Amino acid sequence: MSAVAIIPARLASERFPGKILAAETGRPLIQHVAELAARAGSIARVVVAADDQTIADALAPFGTEVVLTGEHPNGTSRLAEAARLLKLPPEGVVVNVQGDEPEIEPEVIDVAVDALSGSDCPVATVGSPFAPADDPGDPNIVKLVTRCDGRALLFTRASVPYARSPEGARPLRHVGIYAYRRAFLDTYVALPPTPLELAERLEQLRVLEHGYDIAVALAESRHEGIDTPEQYARFVARRRSGGG
């Protein structure tokens, strides 16, 4: 199954203003994301869905396709507008690739698309085992708990489950990649926000709270998203040392 990768891009950022255009490596941060997405075997086309002409101007020298979108409450909503503007077919597959993850593994994109194609779910995502250095109590690390059938039961910033026994469920670290059936994007934006979604500020909870299933693929993923200048500095250092 081939898919279109759309990278939602918002110029504003609370903790790191303009981060997606930070270019100490010689190319904007989001350009690194686009190049890695294009390396995924399941991806036939990569498009940046931008909220500002400045983003389009910065990516023009690299030939990256950009579509300009309006204001949106979240990335999925921006994705839905971009899919409409691009006139993508309802039966198609759209992958939401986060614009601040310049080390996303192309293989992770592929397993998300495979999980969608192998299920009847409207959405698929990826869970990764926790690394020894990960802190399950860190609210910046989203936890994923699956059902017995392997589909998503809960996403949360809290440390779950409460381990009264050493046996039983263990959470996965959620990898923020989503594969959607194109038609479901229109369904999603028509659904009202939900209590858990608003409390946790996790837009994928709207899908579960309205009764839709999310397929989950398991994959090792160790890339670090960029939320702060310090994280970006570590990324630049890795690039300069040949590690990224």
Task: Look at residue 1 and tell me whether its pLDDT is greater than 90.
Answer: no
Q: Residue 182: name the closest of 1, 17, 3 by CA.
A: 3
The answer for 63, left when phi > 0, alpha when psi is -120 to 50, beta otherwise, is: left
Q: What digits encode the pLDDT tens for the residues 27-79?
A: 999 999 999 999 999 999 999 999 999 999 999 999 999 999 999 989 999 99
Q: Residue 43: name the closest of 56, 52, 57, 33 by CA.
A: 33
Task: Look at residue 166 and tell me whether its pLDDT is greater than 80.
Answer: no
pLDDT band for 4, please (50, 70, 90 cuts). very high
**Residue 14 pLDDT:** 80
Tokens at residue 43, please? 């991806």
Tokens at residue 118, please? 């192998």
**Residue 207 pLDDT:** 98
Task: Look at residue 244 and tell me whether its pLDDT is greater than 60.
Answer: no
**Residue 199 pLDDT:** 97
Provide the terminal-to-terminal Cα distance of the chain, rounded to the nearest Å.
Answer: 28
Q: What digits encode the pLDDT tens for the residues 90-120?
A: 999 999 999 999 999 999 999 999 999 999 9
Segment 160-167 mean pLDDT = 77
All structural domains of the chain, each given as residue ranges with its CATH number in brackets, are 3-222 (3.90.550.10)
**Residue 181 pLDDT:** 98
The pTM of the whole model exceeds 0.85? yes
**Residue 91 pLDDT:** 94
**Residue 54 pLDDT:** 96
Whether 42 and 111 have beta carbons less than 8 Å apart is answered as no
The answer for 121, left when phi > 0, alpha when psi is -120 to 50, beta otherwise, is: beta
